[in-house]
Structure 1
Amino acid sequence: MNELFLLALAMLGTGLVGGLMAGVLGVGGGVVIVPMLEFALGVIGVDASIRMHIAVATSLATIIPTSIASSRAHYRRGGVDLVIARRWAPWILLGSLAGTWVASQVDSRVLAILFACLAVLVAMRMMLNIRTRPLTQSVPTSPALAPVPALIGFVSAMIGIGGGSLTVPTMSLMGEPIHRAVGTAALFGLVIAVPGTLGFMATGYGNPLLPAGSIGFVNGLGFALIAPTTVFAAPFGARLAHAMNQRQLSLIFGVFLLLVSVRMLVRALA
């Protein structure tokens, strides 16, 4: 009972901090939730060998309702590119399934290192305010491009993110307008999160090291508490965001990601 209470407090704290940061920084999903959840699980003593698996899997589960709400809102405003969605979704789905299986088989430290490396790249891009010019006028339709969405799905499922950190810059490089790239990425978040969540439920089922309330690697208590508290806290973060300019927000986002990724990397390599 004591473990369940501590776990609930840890999940509530993760949702509140994650929602606040999401509101301030304009990001959501695993970029914020995974490192916060990994830290919270460590505080309550969850075994290090499965800590990242639970963080990644639970993060993917929380992305499902967020992606549904976000993609619907973008669709109503014409912000979802249905042509690209139809072409890329099957490959992202396959990549997500493959990434989920691989993640369930590797050591937790491998997931931590992979997440930390990606987070460092995103952090540096935000801190340095790096801008890139499109390589093409529009997203190519050639079947030869299939490895790109497949890789996005693969990496995103492995580290528990909705894919926006990878999909948006990739589509922007291919000439997709930023608002349509963001809206389409929100839809892809659902394509990544649903198979990823189900896969982690199946591959982690019966693991004796799992904390209370877990269905496979997905912690049901975490999903039930993180999702609503994130929604609750995000508006407060948004209010703070309006008091700062875009450059300040980019720097805050970059510093935050850099700190959590370096911490995660040091712990994984120790």
Structure 2
Amino acid sequence: MQPAEKQRPSVALPPQLPKPPTPPRIYRLAHLDTIVQVPGRVLRIYPAPRPVYDKLESPAWVIAKPASAEEEESFLDFTVEEKRRLVHAGAQVLRTGRALRLRPTKGPEVRLLNNPVGNEQHVAYEYVTSLPEIKQWLVSVHLYEGGYYMLVDQRNGRRTQLMAPPVISPDGRHFVCGNSDVLAHFEPSGLQLWSAEGSNLRLLWERQTEWGCTNPRWLDNKTILFEQDFFDKGDVDTRVVRLNVVP
């Protein structure tokens, strides 16, 4: 007869380790994390906390884009808002009929004439504000589809075309322009960095991107936070990110 088999002592199984969390999809979209080929280097883009972004100042001249067809209709009729601004613009800025007139201190008057036709030749110039930190006037240029912004030098009348309203660094030495049009593509999406030192504005670098840059705000004199709009799974999503734009 075979001896009875002894009962084996119970062995405790090692605890089952929890599965590592799956990172949100946004962190797996690597093309959103860099701006490449900025002369000789790659700029890294990092996620940033929204509460920090919300506490940063946004310039009053950064006009929110219309969120609906009704808002867009009223947005196109800028004359009422412009009249209010012109009251505080001073004697160097005035409108006469279709002409927006800007008078530099050491140059000829700049006349920007509206052409209100309903086709590709349509253009309308809207006075937005004076930017004494960089000695410029800001003008919004409305085209038949889309538009852009223009700076006019208060000293000599020199014009500078921008992709979006300028947001000036705390020390006044730089400004950034960030634009987002990832759905319609009437305007370029991307980011510009300008130098505002001296008597001339200078474009340091510009990148058009497949994602959009909305409402950039300066964290310090070298770093901005902004809302990064990106097209994913048939819709536009947004996250807050941080970018060091000045070396």
- TM category, shorter: under 0.3
TM-score between the two structures when normalised by the length of structure 2: 0.23
Structure with bigger helix share is 1
User: Which structure: larger Rg?
Assistant: 2
TM-score between the two structures when normalised by the length of structure 1: 0.22
